[in-house]
Amino acid sequence: MPNGLDICVWDHHFEHRIYVYSLGGTCLFEHEVVNPISMGLQTVQWSPCGQYISAGTYDNMLYLINRTNWKVAGEMRFPCSVDGQEVQYYKETKTTLNTKNISDRFALPEHKFEVVTDKKIDIKVASVMPEVKNSNKNAKEKKMTRYGVVDMKWSHDSSHLAVLNASCSSLATVWNIATKSVTAVLELSSPVRALSWHPHLLRLIVTAGSPSINMWEHDGSWVIQLPQECSVNVGNITWCKDGSALSLTSREDFCIGFLESYADEDEEEQGFPAPLDNEGFPAPLDNDGFPAPLEDDVDNGYSVPSEGDNGAQAVN
């Protein structure tokens, strides 16, 4: 639990049991799904407010446990289709560049999200029990395939839950906890690598191992391309505590991204904060564009150097 009062533990991958214990060792909650075809839990997360516990399974199920009454508040199955008129569905598209000019050949393709509003949008969810096509393949050459809910991230106010399902790895779904339903779907062109919420805003960042990040808000969704001189294939994101910057990392490289600030035009042109006087107003500038001396500076024994002087002179 975020405040450290309770501890949540769950059984191994072949069982579907979850327990909550107090620090004194008292079992406060026990939940078990008695179903012969149900698979075990794969990931469990506390909500930031500590009221809910979310649990994801291998068979595409989501469970919400309410800490107030220690009851299951919701059982949600990952949908096989959504209504584009009720759910925000964004699909990443790539624009074709004109390569007639030599300079265009080295430019990165432009990615953006397209809003899909079809009445029924099918979601391809891979089977949990795949067929083995070649059993004679060397064990070292076999690629481990992941299924089910592999990652969940709560928003800062515990109102939304971002879910990554490995059975449809190119999708990132946003669930509304109040309605216990999907409110937004982001379909990327590559498998999703990481999810991260802004620490203070309802803003989700999704990465797919490319030199770009995908951002979702209630107002829409955008693909933010990194500068060409930054060759980081973003695989993980970490926000700073105040949300003003975030680190974008790959296996070998990393970079720091800063949100665009709405600074004064004079500050943007000069590249540094405009100087202020003693009352907090912008200080006047001299003929050369440098800050003029303040009255307190003159009273303290400093004056502006005249022509031919090498520096400030003390006034006796």
CA distances from 287 to 278, 290, 307, 309 (A): 21, 8, 13, 17
For 294, list phi and psi in degrees, rounded to 5.
Answer: -85, 160
Could you read off the pLDDT of 107-163 as tens digits, one per residue? 455 678 888 888 888 887 765 554 445 545 554 444 556 778 999 999 999 999 999
Confidence of residue 26 (pLDDT cuts 50, 70, 90): very high
Residue 258: Cβ within 10 Å count:
9
287 in a structural domain: no
The count of C-alpha atoms lying within 13 angstroms of the C-alpha of 116, restricted to the half-sphere facing its C-beta, is 22
Q: Which has more confidence, 249 or 147?
A: 249
Query: In whole angstroms, what is the distance from residue 246 CA to residue 236 CA?
Result: 10
- Pure H helices in the chain: 265-270, 295-299
**Coil/strand/helix, residue 220:** strand
Q: What pLDDT score does 4 carry? A: 80
How would you class 259 by CB atoms within 10 Å of its CB: exposed for 0-12, middle for 13-18, buried for 19 or more? Answer: exposed
Percentage of the chain beyond pLDDT 90 is 24
Let me know the angle formed at the C-alpha of 157 by 214 and 177, rounded to the nearest 5 degrees: 85
Query: In whole angstroms, what is the distance from residue 8 CA to residue 22 CA?
Result: 9
148 in a structural domain: yes
Residue 92 carries which DSSP code? E
Q: What pLDDT score does 271 carry? A: 42
125 in a structural domain: yes
Let me know the angle formed at the C-alpha of 203 by 92 and 76, rounded to the nearest 5 degrees: 80
Is the pLDDT assigned to residue 213 strictly greater than 70?
yes
Q: What is the rounded average pLDDT of the residues 232-237?
A: 88
Tell me the residue length of the chain. Answer: 316
Per the rule left: phi > 0, alpha: psi between -120 and 50, beta: everything else, 117 is alpha
Confidence of residue 166 (pLDDT cuts 50, 70, 90): confident
174 in a structural domain: yes
- Pure H helices in 247-304: 265-270, 295-299
Contact call for residues 73 and 65 (beta carbons, < 8 A): yes
Candidate from 22-26, 169-173, 218-222, 296-300 with smallest mean pLDDT: 296-300
CATH code of the domain covering residue 202? 2.40.128.630
Could you read off the pLDDT of 259-299 as tens digits, one per residue? 764 333 344 444 444 455 555 455 565 655 555 555 554 44
Q: What pLDDT score does 286 carry? A: 60
145 in a structural domain: yes
309 in a structural domain: no
316 in a structural domain: no
**Coil/strand/helix, residue 114:** strand
**Coil/strand/helix, residue 193:** coil
* Domain encompassing residue 149: 6-131+141-258
Is the pLDDT assigned to residue 101 strictly greater than 70?
no
- State the total domains in the chain: 1
Q: What is the rounded average pLDDT of the residues 44-58?
A: 91
Answering whether pTM is above 0.85, one says no
313 in a structural domain: no
Let me know the angle formed at the C-alpha of 171 by 169 and 177, rounded to the nearest 5 degrees: 120
**pLDDT averaged over the chain?**
76
Q: Which has more confidence, 141 or 31?
A: 31
What is the four-CA torsion angle of 36, 38, 44, 48, rounded to 10 degrees? -110
Contact call for residues 31 and 22 (beta carbons, < 8 A): no
Q: What pLDDT score does 103 carry? A: 45
Q: What pLDDT score does 48 carry? A: 92
